[in-house]
Amino acid sequence: MSPAAFHILIPARLGSTRLPRKPLADIGGAPMVVRVAQRALASQALSVTVAADDPAIVQACQRHGIAALLTRPDHASGSDRLAEACALLGWPDEALVVNLQGDEPLMAPELLQAVAQQLQQHPDCVMSTAAHPLHNAADFLNPNVVKVVLDAHGRALYFSRAPIPHWRDRPAAPTADPACAQQPPPLRHIGVYGYRVGFLRRFPLLPAAPLEQCEALEQLRVLWHGERIAVHVTQQAPGPGVDTPADLERVRALWDAASPAPL
């Protein structure tokens, strides 16, 4: 199969309770959202566009030669913002778009390409995403680390904050390493998504699912309504994202320590 032709959209929201004006935070002399877009440009995507909720983000992108458009500030989720961006850009329903969060400046371009390729290879799926094996018990038991289980064809069966799957006959003790004790190892979900534009347009119109509300995981709405999500499994965990001031300092240190710099 030929390489996937895809676009990348980067939703960026200026307001953040834990890190105010997060998209504009400096990383190596440029705003974080610009660094994210620069990583995306290395993925061989047809286009990379920042979908912003504030003119300050658009202006910052334009100063660095990054395509950006202004979307409504009142969207309930990033998916709604992406749907508006697709409409503004006039993309057809069959187009593929990868959603890269604006706080992932260390995301590997190869992973973005692989997520798009996974969707192209699964015409029965409306979405794709990624996962990697978990290698320690602390992450397996951590509710902030989302886990996913797959079917025989690499499609998601369920996402959960709970430690899944559970091995009934060989339960892992809290201090044990489940990835060493159990085969296959559990999988950690990576929050990057590929969409068919036609589905992205109708996704915000789907009623929220009880499981989605229970787990606070938006992707469960897709499974609840009978749609399928293809999952690319990589052995390499992605670089850390930025949610808090401590995360920002960590990413800045990793960026500055990189030789050569990531971009």
Residue 1 domain-assigned? no
pLDDT value of residue 177: 61
Higher pLDDT, 174 or 234: 234
Owner of token pair 């930025």: 242
Q: What is the pLDDT of residues 140-150, one digit of tens each?
A: 999 999 999 99
Residue 120 domain-assigned? yes
Residue 263 domain-assigned? no
Residue 186 domain-assigned? yes
Residue 98 domain-assigned? yes
Q: CA-CA distance, 2 to 243, in Å (whole number)?
A: 36
Task: Dig out the tokens for 88 from the structure.
Answer: 């503004």
Q: CA-CA distance, 182 to 120, in Å (whole number)?
A: 31
| CATH code for the domain in which residue 93 is found | 3.90.550.10
pLDDT at 259 over 60: no
Cβ-proximal residues to 34 (8 Å cutoff; 6+ apart), any chain: 60, 61, 64, 66
Q: What is the pLDDT of residues 113-148, one digit of tens each?
A: 999 999 999 999 999 999 999 988 889 999 999 999
Instruction: Report the share of the chain in percent with pLDDT over 70.
Output: 93
For 101, the domain range is: 6-258
Q: CA-CA distance, 25 to 253, in Å (whole number)?
A: 14
Owner of token pair 């503004």: 88
Instruction: Tell me: cis bond preceding 165? Omega within 30 of 0 counts.
Output: yes
What value, to the nearest 5°, has the Cα angle with vertex 128 and ends 95 and 116? 50
Q: What is the number of structural domains in the chain?
A: 1
Task: Dig out the tokens for 67 from the structure.
Answer: 């395509």
pLDDT value of residue 166: 85
Contact 5, 81 (CB under 8 A): no
**HSE-CB of 240 using CA atoms within 13 angstroms:** 14
User: In a 3-state reduction of DSSP, which class is residue 24?
Assistant: helix
Q: CA-CA distance, 45 to 224, in Å (whole number)?
A: 30
